[in-house]
Amino acid sequence: MKWKPDSSFDTHVLAAGNIAAMAAAETTSSKTAALLQDLLRFDTTNPPGRTIEQAEYLKRIFDAAGIPNEIVRTPDEGRAHFIARLKGDGSKRPVLMAGHSDVVPAERYMWTVDPFGGVIKDGFIMGRGAMDFKGGQAVFARAMLMLAESKIPLARDVIFLAEADEEAGEYGTGWLAKNHWDKIDAEFALNEGGWIFRDKAGVTRQVNITTRDKIYAGLKLQVLGRPTHSSRPMPDSAIGRLTLALAKISVWDTDPTLTPQTRAYFEALSKTTEGPLAADLATLGKSEDPTALREAGKRVSEQGDYPLLWHALMRNTVATTAVKAGVKENVIPATAEAYINIRLVPGSVPWDVLKQVEAAIGDPSINVSLATTMSEAEDREYYDKATNAAASSTETDLYKALAESSKKVWPEAQVVSALFEAGTDALAWRQRGVPVYGIYPYPLDNDTLERMHGNDERISIKSLDEGTEMIFDTLSKVAGNNQLT
């Protein structure tokens, strides 16, 4: 049975009877899971992106642990950042862990549980943000609390940041860096990003640490037609032509666009895979033949263990995400529009993809333009800077500690530097020369991965505990007085 929203349900009241009843079905002794349950019970859906109550809750947690902290309020009183700082002796610059508090909307009628109930089901914590990224927040926060409890002497400050406005809005880390850089300045930072993959047998086989993100862009398709009464339909209406164009895009794909980083990633994958899939992954890692890359890429995208992820990593992706048309049910409208979201492989620019989309549509009456509020010169400068930005070094103490601690917790896993197929708010640090490393700090399978931003989002309690152990060990290595060998 699907969970049905109650019109009287207040998402800011944690003691609602239906939530308590569902949450009581399964319990846990895991402190990280219990913390995540509490975080999920704050509805921080963005928009409106209200995070102040969650920030106040975190403040109580860190106050009780004796860790200095503060809430940084934005011009929007409901949107707030939380920062805690565990002090070291200052002989080294700080390490920062950042994770966002806001979440995307949930279609409640499609969920089997209350998305803001913090429900445990079959060993998983369920809820909007369980994986992206309140689960990561819970892991980072618990690891920092454990570090304080351990009394390990620290050579550097450890900063924990719970951010607002990562999913949408103007008061995210860019605003924070512009107005309060001294509070988040660090030698290097940890953020969301790379995936930790667990196979069907339950063995963690790969840890991806992302050192670079794909680049976000968008296209707008606009069709002009002739408005008239709906009783006299026209064969070339604006909606009809847009529908045909979107149908063509839905069955079209860009060719593989591989960089040295993504080639190395697929080559590393090929060494932990068997059979025809291993051969196709090796082709993506080494081949320069466009036809061979296209064919191997198609098979990997259809038959791989993580087909949607691997498909996205090897090419510039194109996805229709919004359609707008119509003013009344009995009026054939004069215009129809669609928004196409693009994620660019570094080295690509949106104008190249724009031309490819125009060719795929093959209809000059459809205007395809860059969806932007900036001038063309500003756009060119932005994308030139984004595509030329260097990946974070794999030679820093933080990357080495992440790799070493991952192998300690998951000895059968291969640690790989990777490109993140989506985007993060790490740009605020990268623009200032601070290396940022991305990781979703818990092993997961493809089913869990594909629930991200979808229905019944979840993360397993076992994965949360293993991730907490890994991050605690990483912090002990990178911030403690004992140096890496």
Residues 248-261 have pLDDT tens digits of: 999 999 999 999 99
Per-residue pLDDT for 7 more than 50?
A: no
Q: What is the CATH number of the domain that holds 289?
A: 3.30.70.360
Cross-strand pairs, 443: 196
For the chain, the first-to-last Cα distance in angstroms comes to 54
Co-location of 63 and 141 in the same domain: yes
Query: Looking at residue 76, which CATH number applies to its domain?
Result: 3.40.630.10
Q: What rounded mean pLDDT belongs to the chain?
A: 92
Residue 1 lies in a domain: no
Cα separations in angstroms, 268 against 96, 206, 391, 419? 29, 10, 18, 13
Q: So what's the pLDDT on residue 272?
A: 81
How many helices (DSSP H) and strands (DSSP E) are in the chain? 16, 17
Q: CB-based contacts of 385: which residues, under 8 Å, 6+ apart?
A: none
Q: Are residues 343 and 205 in the same domain?
A: no
Same domain flag for 243 and 348 = yes
Check pLDDT > 60 for residue 12: no
Residue 147 and residue 32 in one domain: yes
Exposed/middle/buried for residue 17 (C-beta within 10 Å: 0-12, 13-18, 19+): exposed
| 244 within domain boundaries | yes
The residue segments making up the domain with residue 49 are 17-213+392-479
| Angle separating helix axes 134-150 and 31-40, nearest 10 degrees | 140
Region of poorest pLDDT, from 85-94, 156-165, 476-485 = 476-485
Say whether both 55 and 136 belong to one domain.
yes
Between strands 215-224 and 367-370, the pairing is antiparallel
Number of domains within the chain: 2
Q: Read off the pLDDT of residues 358-391 as tens digits, 9 standing for 90 and up.
A: 999 999 999 999 999 899 999 999 898 888 778 9
Domain boundary among 388, 403, 430: 388
Sign of CA dihedral 26, 473, 396, 403: negative
Name the one residue in this structure whose structure tokens are 């642990």.
65
Burial 329-361 (b: 16+ CB within 10 A, else e): eeebbebbbbebebbbbbebbbeebbebbbebb
Residue 434 three-state SS: coil
pLDDT > 70 fraction of the chain, expressed in percent and rounded: 94
Could you tell me if 192 and 266 lie in one domain?
A: no
pLDDT tens figures, 283-299: 999 999 999 999 999 99
- Would you list the DSSP string of 215-236? EEEEEEEEEE---EETTS--TT
Within-domain flag for 10: no
CA distance 124 to 141: 19
Look at phi and psi of residue 425 and say left if phi exceeds 0, alpha if psi is from -120 to 50, else beta.
alpha
- Tell whether 2 is covered by a domain: no
3-state secondary structure 28-61: CCCHHHHHHHHHHCCCCECCCCCCHHHHHHHHHH
Whether residue 298 contacts residue 290, with contact meaning beta carbons closer than 8 Å, is answered with no
Rama region for 172: left / alpha / beta (φ>0; ψ in -120 to 50; rest): beta
Same-domain status, 341 and 445: no
In a domain, 470, yes or no: yes
User: Do both 33 and 160 map to the same domain?
Assistant: yes
The answer to the question of residue 266 being in a domain is yes
In this structure, how many other beta carbons lie within 10 angstroms of the beta carbon of residue 320?
A: 15
Residues 376 and 468 in one domain: no
Domain termination site, one of 337, 361, 388: 388
Among the candidates 354, 373, 388, a domain finishes at 388
Q: Are residues 184 and 222 in the same domain?
A: no
Does residue 408 sit in the same domain as residue 367?
no
4 within a domain of the structure (yes/no): no
- Residue 478 and residue 46: Cα distance in Å, rounded? 34
Nearest to 82 by CA among 72, 94, 92: 72
Contact between 193 and 100 under an 8 Å Cβ cutoff? The reply is no
448 part of a folded domain: yes
| Residue 53, Cβ density class (10 Å: 0-12 exposed, 13-18 middle, ≥19 buried) | middle
pLDDT in tens, 205-243: 999 999 999 999 999 999 999 999 999 998 889 999 999
379 and 398, same domain (yes or no): no
Buried-exposed string 429-459: b where 16+ CB fall within 10 A, e elsewhere:
bbeeebbbbbbbbbbbbbebbebbeeebbbb
